[in-house]
């Protein structure tokens, strides 16, 4: 007996550990969201290109599009353009779309649409970048001003990072005459970037211009200029106007380099307007969408890998152990009496179709009517099987009548009854009537109420959406449940109702 207990303890420990480990692995390593409410932003970016085509020349428009090599994952990308040929090519880490047409005239509108999300990106590729470059040629007073600026910058910096931010700070200092001279009265970010570039080139610090789009919904915007430098390990991003370091997480890198966003051959007045909106999507569904683009293949081995129809069934099935657990606790810990062992779970499943309140009413009505029929049949002295058949048929007729009646009354809810398991109802009626005869009405009522209560509780717990999601996503939780059930199998303590039942002892002891 002792060894059996030890055996059981080991078994429970293994099951619980296994369940916890697998679940933790899913949550922490695979990063599967714990609740269904956990959603991810889905960004929908539209770039609208407008220009006026020259009537005679062939048209060729080139525009940068995001290279998507950072944290973002593209779900869908489309180039909407009538009568234009489209090609996309990569150059120097940038991506460029080329629209071309032999003949076009008048106002032209082209669209580029990108749907992207941040999550489930692949491992970051090894980042490469230049760490050295030649100085840009600079002559005359600019050279002197630049060198004058360089000296304190060198003094105040320790590495690439501090060097760049110090440079940006100096250039942005409106009181610095050297900076003023270099800027030559142009305070645009573009000019500043150019000056910073010049200064850094003297120190052989590589620098790149980065054009970003901010992911903010419903605000029209134009690309924002950032600077970046490679320190040997990673790109460091700087705001050319403030010296602020680090790219905010809502920036999407669109292209790098000095070129303009768009170049148009055979057209003029080219403008690009960005508009974006975001929507939210369930994280899991999103992960499935990005499946082809990313390594969301861990979902392959979960229940999400099943066809949708089967998934629906499993969502119900994985909750049955929860319902059984409720019955187990109610019966063995609390001591509530129910009809049969798993009848309440079956009734709880039936409640899925009818909703709880209506289900209880229906259950009560049909059972009450069935009981009266059963007591009438008692007088006829029928054998059990024919009697059960009659009751079952009566239940079917009753359900049909209720469905018809409620349909006529316009209560669509009544139609859901059709799936209320009739056999369960019949057996409930039969057992209840036997209980009634043998143990009296009071006991039968107690059992019926206990059954309804257990079924309702099981139903409520089985339909908590968070719980359904959790168990369905992390089925290993069921192992933990089994561990608990095994432990319950050796539970020797009192049931709650026994405390009441044996109260007589205590009264005696007190007296």
Partner 1 sequence: MFGLIKTWKALEARGIMGINRRNADYVLKYNKRHLYPIVDDKIITKERALAAGIHVPEMYGIIETEKEIEKLDEIIGGRSDFVIKPAQGAGGDGILVVADRFEDRYRTVSGKIISHEEIEHQISSILTGLYSLGGHRDRALIEYRVTPDQIFKSISYEGVPDIRIIVLMGYPVMAMLRLPTRQSGGKANLHQGAIGVGVDLATGVTLRGTWLNRIISKHPDTTNAVDGVQLPNWDGFMKLAASCYELCGLGYIGVDMVLDQDKGPLILELNARPGLNIQIANDCGLTQRTHAIEAHIEALAKDGVSEDAETRVRVAQGLFGHVVQQ
503: contact with partner 1 by CB under 8 A: yes
- Residue 330 CB, nearest approach to partner 1 (Å): 13
Which of the 8 DSSP states describes residue 332?
A: I
Report the distance separating Cα 72 and Cα 122, nearest Å.
9
Q: Alpha carbon of 132 to those of 192, 197, 202, 237, 402: distances in Å?
A: 21, 13, 11, 17, 84
144 forms part of the interface with partner 1 (CB under 8 A):
no
Q: Is 305 in the site for partner 1 (CB under 8 A)?
A: no
- Give the Cα separation of 332 and 493 in Å (integer): 9
> If binding is defined by CB under 8 A, does position 498 make contact with partner 1?
yes
Handedness of CA 286, 292, 296, 297 (dihedral sign): positive
Kindly state the tokens that stand for 34: 């714990």
**Can you give the C-alpha Rg of the chain in angstroms?**
37
Contact characters 113-142, partner 1, x per CB under 8 A: ------------------------------
Among 385, 408, 409, 410, binds partner 1 (CB under 8 A): 385
B/e letters for 171-185, b = 16+ CB within 10 Å, e = fewer, are bbeeebebbebbbee
Output the smallest distance, CB 347 to partner 1, in A: 19
| Cβ-Cβ contacts under 8 Å for 31 (sequence gap 6 or more) | 120
In this structure, the strands spanning 73-80 and 106-117 are: antiparallel
Q: Is 3 in the site for partner 1 (CB under 8 A)?
A: no
The rounded distance, in Å, linking the Cα atoms of 142 and 146 is: 6
Would you count residue 499 as binding partner 1 (CB under 8 A)?
A: yes
The answer to whether residue 2 forms part of the interface with partner 1 (CB under 8 A) is no
The count of chain residues that interact with partner 1, using the rule CB under 8 A, is 29
> Pick from 257, 335, 421, 475: which binds partner 1 (CB under 8 A)?
335
Q: How far is the CB of 368 from partner 1 (least distance, A)?
A: 22
Which 392-431 residues touch partner 1, going by CB under 8 A? none
Residue 338 burial (10 A CB sphere; 0-12, 13-18, 19+): buried
Q: Least distance (Å) from partner 1 to the CB of residue 438?
A: 5
Q: Which is nearer to partner 1, 124 or 443 (CB)?
A: 443
Exposed e or buried b per residue across 224-257, where buried means at least 16 C-beta atoms within 10 angstroms of its C-beta: ebbbbbbbeeebbbbbbbebeeebeeebbbbbbe
Q: Does residue 233 touch partner 1 according to CB under 8 A?
A: no
User: Which residue, 55 or 441, is less far from partner 1 as judged by CB?
Assistant: 441
Question: What is the C-alpha separation between 183 and 331, in angstroms, rounded?
Answer: 83
Q: Cα 91 from chain centroid?
A: 34
Q: Which stretch binds partner 1 (CB under 8 A): 160-168, 292-300, 302-310, 383-391?
A: 383-391
Please state the closest distance from residue 506 (CB atom) to partner 1, in A: 5
Q: Which of 42, 74, 38, 109 is closest to 277 using CA atoms? A: 42
Q: How far is the CB of 217 from partner 1 (least distance, A)?
A: 51
The correct pick among 126, 268, 408, 508 for binding partner 1 (CB under 8 A) is 508
Tokens of 167: 């440079």
Question: ∠ at Cα 339 (334, 344), nearest 5°?
Answer: 75
Nearer Cβ to partner 1 (228/387): 387
**Cβ of residue 511: shortest distance to partner 1, in angstroms?**
8
Among 1, 125, 137, 409, binds partner 1 (CB under 8 A): 1
SS3 474: coil
Q: Which is nearer to partner 1, 206 or 340 (CB)?
A: 340
Of residues 158 and 384, the one with the C-beta less far from partner 1: 384
> Phi and psi (nearest 5°) for 35?
-120, 160
CB nearer partner 1, residue 139 or residue 438: 438
- Which residue carries 């593209």 as its tokens? 74
For partner 1, which residue of 309, 383, 408, 412 counts as binding (CB under 8 A)?
383
Nearer to partner 1, 20 or 377 (CB): 377
Select 125 or 380, whichever has its Cβ closest to partner 1.
380
Least distance CB 325 / partner 1 (angstroms): 16
First to last CA, the chain: 39
CA distances from 52 to 64, 107, 243, 272 (A): 19, 4, 38, 13
Q: Looking only at residues 314 through 333 of this chain, which bind partner 1 when binding is defined by CB under 8 A?
A: 332
Is 507 one of the binding residues for partner 1 (CB under 8 A)? yes
Residue 80 contacts partner 1 per CB under 8 A: no
The answer to whether 371 touches 433, Cβ cutoff 8 Å, is yes
Site track for partner 1 across 468-497, x = CB under 8 A: ---------------------xxxxxxxx-
- Our finding on whether 506 is near partner 1 (CB under 8 A) is yes
**Which residue in 265, 439, 445, 465 binds partner 1 (CB under 8 A)?**
439
Task: In angstroms, give the least distance from the CB of 487 to partner 1.
Answer: 11
Closest approach of partner 1 to the CB of residue 392, in Å: 15
User: Which C-beta is closer to partner 1: that of 100 or that of 332?
Assistant: 332
How many angstroms separate the Cα of 51 from the Cα of each of 23, 79, 248, 485?
A: 55, 16, 32, 71
- In angstroms, what is the minimal distance from the CB of 421 to partner 1? 18
**3 state SS of 55:** coil
The nearer residue to partner 1, 357 or 489, going by C-beta atoms, is 489
Binding residues for partner 1 (CB under 8 A):
1, 332, 335, 381, 383-385, 434, 438-439, 489-496, 498-499, 501-509
């Amino acid at each position: 007996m002792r060894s059996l207990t030890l055996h059981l303890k080991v078994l429970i420990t293994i099951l619980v550990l296994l369940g916890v480990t697998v679940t933790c692995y899913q949550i922490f390593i695979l990063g599967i969201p714990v609740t269904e409410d956990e959603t991810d932003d889905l960004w929908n970016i539209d770039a609208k290109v407008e220009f006026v085509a020259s009537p005679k020349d062939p048209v060729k428009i080139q525009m940068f599009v995001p290279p998507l090599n950072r944290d973002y994952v593209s779900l869908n990308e489309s180039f909407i353009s009538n009568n234009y040929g489209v090609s996309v090519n990569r150059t120097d880490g940038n991506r460029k779309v080329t629209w071309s047409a032999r003949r076009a005239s008048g106002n032209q509108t082209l669209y580029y649409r990108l749907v992207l999300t941040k999550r489930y990106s692949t491992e970051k590729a090894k980042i490469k970048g230049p760490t050295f470059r030649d100085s840009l040629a600079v002559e005359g007073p600019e050279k002197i001003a630049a060198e004058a600026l360089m000296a304190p910058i060198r003094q105040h910096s320790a590495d690439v990072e501090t060097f760049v931010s110090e440079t940006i700070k100096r250039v942005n200092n409106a009181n610095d005459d050297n900076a003023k001279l270099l800027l030559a009265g142009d305070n645009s970010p573009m000019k500043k970037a150019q000056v910073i570039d010049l200064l850094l080139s003297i120190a052989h610090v590589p620098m790149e211009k980065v054009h970003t789009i901010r992911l903010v919904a419903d605000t029209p915007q134009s690309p924002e200029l950032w600077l970046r430098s490679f320190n040997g390990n990673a790109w460091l991003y700087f705001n050319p106007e403030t010296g602020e370091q680090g790219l905010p997480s809502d920036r999407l890198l669109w292209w790098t380099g000095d070129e303009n966003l768009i170049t148009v051959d055979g057209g003029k007045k080219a403008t690009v307007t960005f508009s974006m909106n975001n929507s939210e999507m369930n994280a899991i569904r999103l992960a499935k969408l990005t499946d082809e683009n990313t390594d969301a293949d861990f979902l392959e081995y979960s229940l999400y890998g099943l066809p949708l129809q089967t998934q629906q069934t499993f969502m119900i099935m994985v909750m049955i152990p929860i319902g059984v657990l409720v019955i187990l606790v109610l019966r063995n810990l609390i001591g509530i009496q129910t009809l049969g062992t798993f009848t309440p779970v079956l009734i709880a499943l039936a409640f899925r179709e009818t909703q709880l309140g209506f289900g209880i009413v229906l259950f009560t009505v049909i059972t009450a009517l069935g009981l009266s029929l059963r007591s009438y049949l008692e007088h006829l002295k029928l054998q059990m099987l024919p009697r059960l058949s009659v009751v079952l048929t009566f239940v079917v007729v009753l359900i049909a009548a209720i469905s018809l009646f409620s349909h006529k009354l316009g209560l669509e809810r009544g139609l859901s009854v059709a799936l209320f398991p009739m056999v369960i109802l019949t057996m409930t009626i039969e057992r209840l009537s036997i209980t009634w005869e043998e143990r009296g009405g009071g006991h039968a009522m107690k059992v019926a109420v206990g059954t309804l209560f257990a079924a309702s509780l099981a139903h409520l717990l089985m339909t908590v959406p968070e719980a359904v999601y959790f168990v369905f996503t992390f089925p290993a939780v069921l192992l933990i449940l089994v561990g608990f059930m095994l432990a319950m199998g050796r539970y020797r303590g009192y049931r709650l109702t026994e405390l009441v039942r044996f109260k007589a002892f205590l009264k005696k002891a007190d007296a």
